[in-house]
Amino acid sequence: MLKLLKYELKSRKNLLLGGSLTIIILNILIMLDWKLGGNEIFGYDDTFGAILSIVLFGIWVAILVIIIIDSINILRKDLYEDTGQLLFTVPKSSYSILLSKMLTTVIELLLFGLLFTTLMISIIVAEGTNFESVKVMLQVLGENIGIVLQALFAILIDIMNFLVTIYFSLVLTKSLLKDKKYSGITAFGIFLLLSIFMGKINSWLFRYMPYSSDLGMSLRYGEFVLELPISAGESIAIILFNLCLFIILFFLTGYLLEHKTDI
Amino acid sequence: MKAVLELRDVHKSFMGKKALQGVDLSVGAGSVIGLLGPNGSGKTTLIKIIAGLIKQNAGEVKICGLNPGEETKALVSYLPDTQHLYKWMRVEDAICFYDDFFEDFDRLRCEELLDYMGIDRADKVKDLSKGMYEKTSLALTLARQSRLYVLDEPLGGIDPVARDTIIDTILSNYREDSSFIISTHLVSDVERLFDTVAFIKEGKIILDGEAEELRIERSMSIENIYKEVFRNA
């Protein structure tokens, strides 16, 4: 599986390296601009800095969109294009292939998430802000580590569920239709129906089993005190439901790929 | 002679259209079988079933006694008739890919074959000409020490000089414990390779047997038998 992951990541090295480098360079430019004369980092009286900031924001959005599109294409191409005849003839199970593709997207998101966090911290440091806000945040996070981990786990399950729903829709379509012509719209229809179904169950669970954990935070920023009640987001019931759904869809997709799909 | 491949009454249809209709075929160790038929006769479908890419609707497929799947993919070396390598790859990446995933891959043998064919490892796969691409794919496929080699139209769209190189490479790779299935409609170029031939038409094997016996029996070359069999195809 690790070997599969290696080649999936290798195929995305342009996005990973190019995207990261562009973002880092733009951040450095913004910080330099601020150091050399701008009044504040996202200061609107500094036109150059403002333009850089807008471009940087645009690139972040573009990268997010590319990752989402990529997460679909990562399997779609191997199902419908000739490269499938390489990938699906390697002696690896369809489950390994699926998992490697999902993990590739998760790693991409993690890498850019880490980069975003690192750059935000470096901007705060460059700005010379007192670190009280960061300290408070870290302290609150440390005191509520269980809830934080629960929230992170819920996010991870949500991402994996999103991906497995896409893959299930693509593989089911491929096993039902030989013709590529209507495959896109059919897969989208299946994805939409599944998402509506999952959304309905989630809201039902939220209504009848509303337990969720809250983080109460007070962040001081200069003279401002910001009360920030952060919900861990999803109740345990929803997380468990989504986890079960992920497992079922994952094995169903793997089974379809192994036994019912013609490449 | 124990069969490397056994097909019994294999059927396959796509959306109601019959692609294979009761195919029986047996391939023994050390034999080279020519799967001959015009475009659309079912050759690629049959080969993809053997490679584990598509599943038959009915019938039995056994590769070294196993059903097609993860285990048989380690035994079958498959050359598709399409451009199956990832476009981002250089030839070197493709070598590493095969080396990583196929335990029977002989990297040195692959490099020898690539040198013989004049392929540069630094070349990008997407920049290779059709002939060079075919040669690269063939080198990767033949560098595996597999029990069964399945080559789908290895000469399609290749110039005559490159064809000779490819045929020589296939010949040089022959081992007594391995078998070849070569599908083609360009019979004259490769008929000297075949021990056995199977003519496939509309998803059915309509004639098969030892190549030499068929030549003697009909007093003509395999190419002429092909023309006779498929005259109205």
Contacts of B52 in chain A (CB under 8 A): 88-89
Concatenate the DSSP letters of all residues of chain A into one string: -HHHHHHHHHHTHHHHHHHHHHHHHHHHHHHHHHHHT-SSTT-TT-HHHHHHHHHHHHHHHHHHHHHHHHHHHHHHHHHHSTTHHHHTTSS--HHHHHHHHHHHHHHHHHHHHHHHHHHHHHHHHHHT--THHHHHHHHHHHHTHHHHHHHHHHHHHHHHHHHHHHHHHHHHHHHH-S-STTHHHHHHHHHHHHHHHHHHHHHHHHHHS----EEEEEEEETTEEEEEEEE--S-HHHHHHHHHHHHHHHHHHHHIIIII---
| Structural domain containing residue A240 | 130-263
Check CB contact under 8 Å for B52 and A11: no
Whether B6 contacts B42, CB under 8 Å: no
In chain B, residues with a C-beta closer than 8 Å to the C-beta of A84 are 53, 84
State yes or no: pLDDT of A208 exceeds 80.
Answer: no
Q: Give the pLDDT confidence score for residue A179 in this predicted structure.
A: 74
Mean pLDDT to the nearest integer, B123-138: 90
Q: For residue A221, what pLDDT band results from cuts at 50, 70 and 90?
A: very low
Window from A17-31, A92-106, B57-71 with minimum mean pLDDT: A17-31
Asked if B83's CB is within 8 angstroms of A90's CB, the reply is no
| Residues B183-214 pLDDT 10s | 988 788 788 888 899 999 999 999 998 988 88
pLDDT computed for residue A127 by the predictor: 66
Using CB atoms, which residue from B54, B69, B97 is nearest to A7?
B97
pLDDT higher than 60, residue A41: no
Answer yes or no: do A161 and A263 share one domain.
Answer: yes
The average confidence (pLDDT) of chain B is 90
- Minimum distance, in Å, between the CA of residue A54 and any CA atom of chain B: 32
Instruction: Give the pLDDT mean for A117-146.
Output: 73
Structure token pair of residue A39: 């009044």
**The pLDDT of residue A182:** 86
**Confidence at B107, pLDDT banded by 50, 70, 90:** very high
A82 closest CB neighbour out of B69, B70, B82:
B82
Residue the block writes with tokens 């000297």:
B192
Are both A137 and A251 inside the same structural domain?
yes
Percent of chain B with pLDDT over 70: 98
CA distance linking residue A121 with residue A103, whole number of Å: 26
Does residue A37 sit in the same domain as residue A155? no
Residue A148 and residue A78 share a domain: no
Look at residue B3 in the predicted model and tell me its pLDDT. Answer: 84
Sign of the C-alpha dihedral computed for residues A138, A143, A148 and A149 taken in this order: positive
Whether A96 and A189 share a structural domain: no
Domain count, chain A: 2
* More confident position, B163 or A220: B163
Same domain as A225, residue A164: yes
Q: Looking at the structure, do residues A116 and A17 belong to the same domain, yes or no? A: yes
The answer to whether residue A227 scores a pLDDT higher than 70 is no
Average pLDDT over residues A155-167: 92
Secondary structure of B179-202 as H, E, C letters: EEEEEECCHHHHHHHCCEEEEEEC
* Residue A133: per-residue pLDDT: 67
Closest CA to A105 of A72, A129, A147: A72
Q: pLDDT tens-digit profile of A45-82?
A: 567 767 777 888 888 888 888 888 888 888 999 999 99
Question: Do A175 and A224 share a domain, yes or no?
Answer: yes
Distance CA B45, CA B23 (A): 11
Name every chain A residue with its beta carbon within 8 A of the beta carbon of B51: 85, 89
Per-residue pLDDT at A218 exceeds 60: no
Q: What's the pLDDT at B1? A: 57
**Residue B217 above 60 pLDDT?**
yes
Q: Do A189 and A149 sit in the same domain of this protein? A: yes
Read off the pLDDT band of A98 (50, 70, 90): very high
| Residue A141 pLDDT exceeds 90 | no
* Whole-number average pLDDT of chain A: 82
| Domain co-membership, A2 together with A109 | yes
Query: What is the predicted pLDDT for the residue at B63?
Result: 94
Nearest CB among B54, B97, B102 relative to A262 is that of B54
Show residues of chain A in contact with B48, CB under 8 Å: 262-263
| Out of A250-259, B107-116, B150-159, least confident range | B150-159
Best of B12, B55, B76, B86 to disrupt the A interface (most A CBs within 10 Å) is B86
Looking at the structure, do residues A68 and A158 belong to the same domain, yes or no?
no
Q: In the listed set A112, A129, A146, which residue is the last one of a domain according to the structure? A: A129
- On whether both A75 and A184 belong to a single domain, the answer is no
Looking at residues B11-30, what average pLDDT do you find?
90
- Which of A129, A148, A163 delimits the end of a domain? A129
β-bridge partners, B79: B151
> Is B78 in contact with A93 (Cβ distance < 8 A)?
no
Which residue ranges form the domains of chain B, and what is each CATH number?
A: 3-229 (3.40.50.300)
pLDDT at residue number A19 = 87
